[in-house]
Structure 1
Amino acid sequence: MVTITLMGQLQTEDGERDFTCEVPGPLSVKQLIQRQGMTLRPVLQLLREKKVLVTVNKKIASEDSLVNDGDAVRLVGHDGMGGTGLGPSSFY
């Protein structure tokens, strides 16, 4: 089981921030997010725009970093300028 936590200004439309999911084997962070379907789809765009910091087990990671069973992934929203460019309306 992998734990995904949204931090900073990231949250789902329903205000959720914590998710767990089973993984069949090593997956990239990007693949893990894609497997969550519509729930985390907006995160993919934010990753492309470099507006999300990724950590895996408290170590800085990227969308290509591998995730294994038992890992903890944290996605932290930022706008790169120290402002508030990622309000909940930007996420959904």
Structure 2
Amino acid sequence: MTHRHLLAELTGLNSNYLITLFKKQMRMTLKNYIQEQRIEEAKKLLRLTNDTISSISTRLNFYDQSYFIKVFKKHTGITPKQYRSDVANS
């Protein structure tokens, strides 16, 4: 079940209406919002754990490590490895 359909079921709203309402209120798509939240969690895990990038990717339900790195870089401008290195050096 997609996030969209799960949220629609939980709220009792039509999924198309929910997506439209979400975008209007949050000024971003549900998909982007969820990705942002996952990347924020990844940043936390990179700062606070020694977990591998691969295990963090799996833990956050990215379908593979390459996609995780691509999405992480899209949201932060740097790779998870660079992020961890920058945090360690600050």
The two structures have a TM-score, normalised by structure 2, of 0.29
As a proportion of its length, which structure holds more helix?
A: 2
> Could you say which structure has the greater relative contact order, defined with CA pairs below 8 angstroms and 6 or more residues apart?
1
Higher strand share: 1
Larger radius of gyration: 2
